A = this chain, B = another copy of it.
Amino acid sequence: MEAREKAVRFPANAVYDFAERTLLSAGAEESSAKLTARGLWFASVRGVDSHGVRLLPHYVKALQGGRVNANPSFTFEQTSPSTGRLDADHGFGHAAGIRAMHYAIDLAREAGSGHVVVFNSSHCGTMAYFAFEACREDMIGTAYTHATPKMRTPNATTKFFGTNPICLAAPMASEAPFCYDGSTTQLSANKIRVYGERGLELPPLCGADEEGRETRVPAEVVQLLPIGDYKGFGLAMIVDILCGLLSGMPVGDDISDMFNDPLSRKRLLGQFYSALRIDVFEDPERFKIRLQDLAERVRRQPRRDPNTPVQVPGDPEKVCQADREANGIPVGTKELAQLESVVKELGIEPLQVVD
Contact = CB atoms under 8 A, between A and B. Distances in A.
Contacts of A110: 81
A227 B237 contact: no
Given A180-B237, A294-B240, A156 B79 contact: no
A355 interface: no
Max count, chain B CB within 10 A of own CB: residue among A81, A85, A213, A234: A234
B117 A115 contact: no
Contacts of A309: 155
A281 interface: yes
Q: How many copies does the complex hold?
A: 2
A117 B287 CA distance: 14
A291 interface: yes
A245 B115 contact: no
Contacts of A247: 281-282
B237 A79 contact: no
A280 B157 contact: no
A81 to B, nearest CB: 4
Interface string A65-86: 0000000000000011111010
A82 B112 contact: yes
A239 to B, nearest CB: 10
Contact of A81 (B111, B168, B231, B304): B111
A251 B286 CA distance: 13
A245 B287 contact: yes
A112 B79 contact: yes
Nearest to A185: B228
A250 to B, nearest CB: 10
9 contacts: A82-B111, A82-B113, A113-B115, A140-B242, A155-B303, A155-B305, A160-B297, A186-B228, A227-B227
Contacts of A230: 311, 313
Interface of A: 79-83, 85, 110-113, 115, 117, 140, 153-158, 160, 166, 168, 170, 178, 180, 182, 186, 204-205, 212-213, 227-228, 230-235, 237-238, 240-242, 245-248, 251-253, 276-278, 280-282, 286-287, 290-291, 294, 297-298, 301-305, 308-313
A282 B111 contact: no
Given A81-B112, A237-B312, 7 more contacts: A80-B112, A82-B113, A111-B112, A113-B113, A153-B310, A156-B298, A248-B282
Contact of A115 (B186, B231, B276): B276
The 4 closest A-B pairs by CB, nearest first: A80-B112, A227-B228, A156-B301, A83-B112
Contacts of A80: 111-113, 277, 280
B304 A156 contact: yes
Given A180-B237, A252-B298, A294-B252, A85 B232 contact: no
Contacts of A231: 182, 186, 227
Contacts of A232: 227-228
A245 B157 contact: no
A69 B233 CA distance: 39
